[in-house]
Structure 1
Amino acid sequence: MYAEYTAVDADKLVPLSEGTDLIEAGAMPVTYFTAYHMLHNVVRAQKDKFALIYASTGGVGTALIQLAKEAGLKVIALDRKDEKVTQALKLGADFAFNSTGNWVEEVKKSLKVKV
């Protein structure tokens, strides 16, 4: 059973605008806090580096693209369908590839990497 009221430190709260859909607002921490944690606490992403994002148009993938771009990273997005590859580019990815193909070679070609 959930409590009707609880005491929480103010710095742990996220203020919402009047009329905000609580279900939608409740989903935000799951995706954006996860993406933020992965970028800044786990890999300690640095400006002008690359972020390779699998499942780039899912909830966390979308958040990763947006937060990575905000942090100054170049984004390489991977998805399994061509429509999702197109969507990743619309979301702000610098490069996007279908992961069912030879995406490693496509990335190398796009970045003009010689190996």
Structure 2
Amino acid sequence: MGTIKLQNIRTYSFHGCLAEEAKIGSDYRVDLEIKTDLRKSSITDDLKDTVDYVLLNQIVVEEMAIRSKLLEHVGHRIVTRIFGEIPAVSRIVVAVSKLNPPIGGDVEAVTIELEEYRS
């Protein structure tokens, strides 16, 4: 087994429960960790034998572009899509952070983290 991590994927998205958030948008950070078998690719040095980082990033960016009220919802979509498109992934941890959230305080970020295993 092995781990692939994509850290600090930055997007400008329009998630949130407030109408203003749908219009103004804000900065987000996504951290993604997947478990997969890296033994074959470590020997063959062939992209077809591993999980393509470009595809993982593309899934995150595309799902972050679809508006959700809750970070939990967009995180779940990311997980569902990765499991649906990449059979080699056995576990996913995704953290979605809204930077400088409008919650009436000096808060750097609000983050949700989901951990799911292939069933």
Q: Tell me if both proteins adopt one fold, taking TM over 0.5 as the criterion.
A: no
- Using structure 1 for the length normalisation, give the TM-score: 0.28
Higher helix share: 1
Tell me the TM-score normalized by structure 2: 0.27
More strand by share: 2
Q: Which has the higher contact order (CA 8 A, sep 6+)?
A: 2
Higher Rg: 1
